[in-house]
Amino acid sequence: MKARKGGAIEHGVARGRKAASPKPPKEPPGSAPPASLGRVEGLVPSTDPTAPDFAWWPIDRVKPWVQNPRKNARAVGKVADSIRAFGWGRPLVVNAWPKCAGELIIGHTAWLAAHELKLELVPVRVRRMEPAAAHALAIADNKLGEIADWDPDELGRIVGSGEISPEQMAIAGFSSAELELLANPVHPPGHTTIEASTEHECPKCGFKWRSDKPKAGAAEKAA
């Protein structure tokens, strides 16, 4: 309201006091992250759903680790197919350490695939790591995946059920020969599967062990 001249209030503001600055409205969860995201040092916390710990960077802002011992050329086409079909499964990880800012830690193949797809922006997660530690993480990211194994029975079930189409499995990197073998597994002669397992315990020392009863393979049954 507007008071008469000389009154205690003019234009709705008490004399001698400054008008309080309006507080910006709180952004709802899932809103766009702040423009500065990705330019801060260290790993951006992901506890706030309005500020996820990655940002979209111009692809030319990301630099490869030129001494990377992992040779990626053979996989670039397949990764490009995956990004085209499914989008990004995870962001690239880059370093914010001085003198190597923007250097890739994880995602060299995906970065090359993004170039092949002529993408202008790539998703990036920022870490601040000493170069030696960053390079060790890059090697670990590639090497540790080699330790894992596939469950052929479960893969065969997925292929046979049609849950994932043959086209999608091909994009995932499986050849037609591999898919055929998964759908129609061939067991070698003498192949056995476990029919039952019994646990035993020594009554004197308490030592426990298991004994498995093998089920004869098809070749043995035929004999």
Residue type at position 29: P
- Pair 141, 64 in one domain: yes
- Pair 81, 116 in one domain: yes
- Pair 85, 156 in one domain: no
Per the structure, the complete domain to which residue 72 belongs is given by 55-146
Q: pLDDT at position 136, please?
A: 95
- Pair 218, 199 in one domain: yes
pTM: 0.59
Instruction: Determine, yes or no, domain membership for 31.
Output: no
- Pair 139, 156 in one domain: no
Instruction: Determine, yes or no, domain membership for 19.
Output: no
- What is the CATH number for 117? 3.90.1530.10
Instruction: Determine, yes or no, domain membership for 15.
Output: no
CA–CA dist 150, 197 (Å, integer): 23
Q: pLDDT at position 38, please?
A: 33
Percent of the chain with pLDDT over 90: 30
Instruction: Determine, yes or no, domain membership for 5.
Output: no
- Pair 133, 162 in one domain: no
Q: pLDDT at position 130, please?
A: 93
Q: Quick one: three-class SS letters along the chain?
A: CCCCCCCCEECCEECCCCCCCCCCCCCCCCCCCCCCCCCCCCCCCCCCCCCCCCEEEEHHHCECCCCCCCCCHHHHHHHHHHHHHHCCCCCEEEECCCCCCCEEEECHHHHHHHHHCCCCEEEEEEECCCHHHHHHHHHHHHHHHHCCCCCHHHHHHHHHHCCCCHHHHHHCCCCHHHHHHHHCCCCCCCCCEEEEEEEEECCCCCCEEEEEEEECCHHHHHC
Residues of the chain with pLDDT under 70: 1-53, 187-200, 202, 204-223
Q: pLDDT at position 54, please?
A: 76
Instruction: Determine, yes or no, domain membership for 12.
Output: no
Q: pLDDT at position 45, please?
A: 43
Q: pLDDT at position 139, please?
A: 95
- Pair 177, 108 in one domain: no
- Pair 134, 211 in one domain: no
Instruction: Determine, yes or no, domain membership for 23.
Output: no
Instruction: Determine, yes or no, domain membership for 118.
Output: yes
Q: pLDDT at position 201, please?
A: 72
- Pair 81, 97 in one domain: yes
- Pair 93, 176 in one domain: no
Instruction: Determine, yes or no, domain membership for 30.
Output: no
Number of domains within the chain: 3
Q: pLDDT at position 53, please?
A: 64
- Pair 125, 78 in one domain: yes
- Pair 90, 105 in one domain: yes
